[in-house]
Amino acid sequence: MTSAITLAAQARGYSKAAKELEESGQHERARQLYLKAAKLYNDAYASAGDEMDRNTQRDLAEHLFAKAQSLKSSSAKYSSGGLESSNGSDNRDESSLSKDDLILKEIPNIGFPDIGGLEDVKEEIRKAIIYPFTHKELYRMYGQKAGEGILLYGPPGCGKTMMAKAAAKECGAEFISVKTSSIVSKWVGASEKNIKQIFDTARQSERAIIFFDEIDSVAVRRSESEDYAKRVVNEMLAQMDGVDTAGDDLLVLAATNEPWSIDPALRRPGRFSKLVFIPEPDLEARAAIFDIQLKDRPIDDEVDVMALAGMTDSYSGADIASICREAADIPLGEALRGGEIRKIGMQDFATVIEKRKPSITSWYIGARKAIQKTGEEEVFGEIFSG
């Protein structure tokens, strides 16, 4: 029987050849070789013992299979000479970033007024992100080093991504948002190259914010992570150590729902040393989010956002956005079925809220448990207070 190591080596050969064929435009032949490579990796996965990491083999098999699929679905587009990747199909070179992964040269259209509540957080963000850009001289005069990286953390769906975008808009910075999972390429060296590319791009802008969203997908504790993730984190650390906001007009933000799983080295001075907690919305904030979500929908006079806010304790902003969509769906559905056209009423909201559990409670339980394990209760104090 062929050993797993030999199978993997053969698979590598096929996949390399496939890639060359793909690059030279021979997509059907490339697709066949990708499939062969995927099959060999799968065999390696199936027969592997302790001599190699089985999960990597399986991931590679899946990855190459997906690549073969995408070549099939896009062969028409390829033959017409276009290289644009369409929604869902992923036919680009995995080893470098495409514009789908990076949103470049874009100033977001979400500002602080679009974010309900979180007034304290907004002020904190102003101090940590906006003023260092807009009042650079003052910071320099008082010898304050501005522009440490900032890690936004907190329960899911409560506005971390929104807050990062809004911060960029408020200070007129270009927003370079990186889907962190997309920089993780298992092809040797590619991940580091991707990180470097991101920082290089940012340095070319006049003023930029780099945002690593869901950073836990790569920057896990290096003791627990795989090789590629270690390399990504090392490169990230190296690049961040080289950032001087005053000189570069560059700020690095990251967000995570799982701050405890992030490599502590990333939190050292000069890196993501500032932690900003984005909590679930309180009563006022929930009312504000309802206002924002309902401002362009027809609602009955009896609908009282304060009452709605009272009914949604422990619900996230994202929960509230869904509640509003689902509530609107009720009269919409009726109208589509030929019913009378009517406004969204209090009863519609009640129906939807009753069916839906708040998403925050379970996050806190899991978060506290995980943090107690790492012994970092002090670092993430906000998760324990209240």
Q: Which residues bind ligand ADP (CB under 6 A)?
A: 115-118, 156-162, 255, 281, 285, 289, 292, 317-318, 321
Measured distance CA(116)–CA(72) in Å, rounded:
45
User: Which CB, 40 or 287, lies closer to ligand ADP?
Assistant: 287
Please give the distance of CA 41 from its chain centroid, rounded to a whole number: 29
Please answer whether residues 317 and 359 qualify as being in contact, where contact means their C-beta atoms are separated by less than 8 angstroms. Answer: no
Render 187-242 in DSSP notation, one character per residue.
Answer: STTHHHHHHHHHHHHHHHSSSEEEEEETGGGT-B-TTTS-HHHHHHHHHHHHHHHT
Q: Which residue has the tokens 């906000």?
A: 382
User: Which CB, 8 or 320, lies closer to ligand ADP?
Assistant: 320
Q: Is 161 in the site for Mg ion (CB under 5 A)?
A: yes
Please answer whether residues 316 and 157 qualify as being in contact, where contact means their C-beta atoms are separated by less than 8 angstroms. Answer: yes
Residue 266 contact, options ligand ADP, Mg ion, none, Cβ 5-8 Å cut-off depending on partner type: none
Q: Is 239 in the site for Mg ion (CB under 5 A)?
A: no
Residue 279 corresponds to which tokens in the numbers above? 């909590």
User: Which CB, 317 or 331, lies closer to Mg ion?
Assistant: 317
CB of 236 to Mg ion, least distance (A): 19
Q: Is 359 in the site for Mg ion (CB under 5 A)?
A: no
Residue 322 corresponds to which tokens in the numbers above? 């869904």
Residue 128 contact, options Mg ion, ligand ADP, none, Cβ 5-8 Å cut-off depending on partner type: none
Measured distance CA(65)–CA(81) in Å, rounded:
23
CB of 217 to ligand ADP, least distance (A): 13
User: Which CB, 115 or 210, lies closer to ligand ADP?
Assistant: 115
Residue 33 corresponds to which tokens in the numbers above? 């070789």
Query: Which residue in the shown chain puts its C-beta closest to ligand ADP?
Result: 317
User: Which CB, 67 or 165, lies closer to Mg ion?
Assistant: 165
User: Which CB, 34 or 260, lies closer to ligand ADP?
Assistant: 260
Residue 117 contact, options ligand ADP, Mg ion, none, Cβ 5-8 Å cut-off depending on partner type: ligand ADP
Question: How many Cβ atoms sit within 10 Å of the Cβ of residue 222?
Answer: 18
User: Which CB, 13 or 111, lies closer to ligand ADP?
Assistant: 111
CB of 384 to ligand ADP, least distance (A): 19
Measured distance CA(163)–CA(255) in Å, rounded:
10
CB of 326 to ligand ADP, least distance (A): 14
User: Which CB, 30 or 162, lies closer to ligand ADP?
Assistant: 162
Among 216, 210, 120, 205, smallest CA distance to 159 is for: 120
Render 318-365 in DSSP notation, one character per residue.
Answer: HHHHHHHHHHHHHHHHHHHTT-----B-HHHHHHHHHH---SHHHHHH
CB of 138 to Mg ion, least distance (A): 32
Question: How many Cβ atoms sit within 10 Å of the Cβ of residue 373?
Answer: 9
CB of 320 to ligand ADP, least distance (A): 7
CB of 223 to Mg ion, least distance (A): 26
Residue 162 contact, options Mg ion, ligand ADP, none, Cβ 5-8 Å cut-off depending on partner type: ligand ADP
Residue 279 contact, options Mg ion, ligand ADP, none, Cβ 5-8 Å cut-off depending on partner type: none
Q: Which residue has the tokens 């948002």?
A: 177
Measured distance CA(309)–CA(317) in Å, rounded:
11
Residue 166 corresponds to which tokens in the numbers above? 């809004």
Please answer whether residues 290 and 118 qualify as being in contact, where contact means their C-beta atoms are separated by less than 8 angstroms. Answer: no
Residue 352 contact, options ligand ADP, Mg ion, none, Cβ 5-8 Å cut-off depending on partner type: none
**Which range touches Mg ion (CB under 5 A), out of 21-29, 157-165, 264-272, 333-341?**
157-165
Please answer whether residues 232 and 219 qualify as being in contact, where contact means their C-beta atoms are separated by less than 8 angstroms. Answer: yes
- Contact residues toward Mg ion (CB under 5 A) are 161
